[in-house]
């Protein structure tokens, strides 16, 4: 389910392709025609994604984003998320509906 996020990185599977001087990686989801072969109910398709660089850089960015979200919630580290009160907000509240 996170394959599309990791797709396009140099470490990701798929051929490295050059088109008009730009580098791309082939990407196909598990429901694509390419992946399923002769099977029916094809849902995805094979596409070219611009190369995103190394996966490590994306993982560092994800870690920084998560740390930022934790700090906005008043926490200092990932373990802080186990000691918080969660509030669920529904859009319908703004329309005067009860919870």
Task: State the average pLDDT for the chain.
Answer: 81
> Picking from 20-24, 27-31, 62-66, 89-93, which range would have the lowest pLDDT averaged per residue?
89-93
How confident is the model over 65-98, as pLDDT tens digits?
999 988 888 888 888 888 877 777 777 656 666 6
List, in sequence order, the alpha helices (H) in 15-78: 33-36, 55-72
85, 73 in Cβ contact below 8 A?
Answer: no
pLDDT average, residue stretch 23-31: 83
Cα dist from 62 to 14, 26, 40, 80, whole Å: 23, 23, 36, 17
């Amino acid at each position: 389910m996170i394959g599309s996020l990791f797709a396009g990185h140099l470490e990701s599977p798929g051929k490295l392709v050059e088109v008009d001087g730009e580098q791309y990686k082939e990407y196909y989801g598990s429901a694509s025609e390419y992946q399923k072969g002769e099977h029916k109910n094809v849902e995805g398709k094979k596409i070219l994604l611009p190369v995103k660089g190394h996966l490590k850089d994306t993982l560092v960015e994800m870690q920084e984003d998560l740390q930022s979200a934790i700090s906005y919630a008043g926490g200092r580290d990932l373990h802080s998320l186990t000691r918080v009160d969660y509030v669920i907000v529904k859009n319908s509240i703004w329309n005067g509906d009860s919870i």
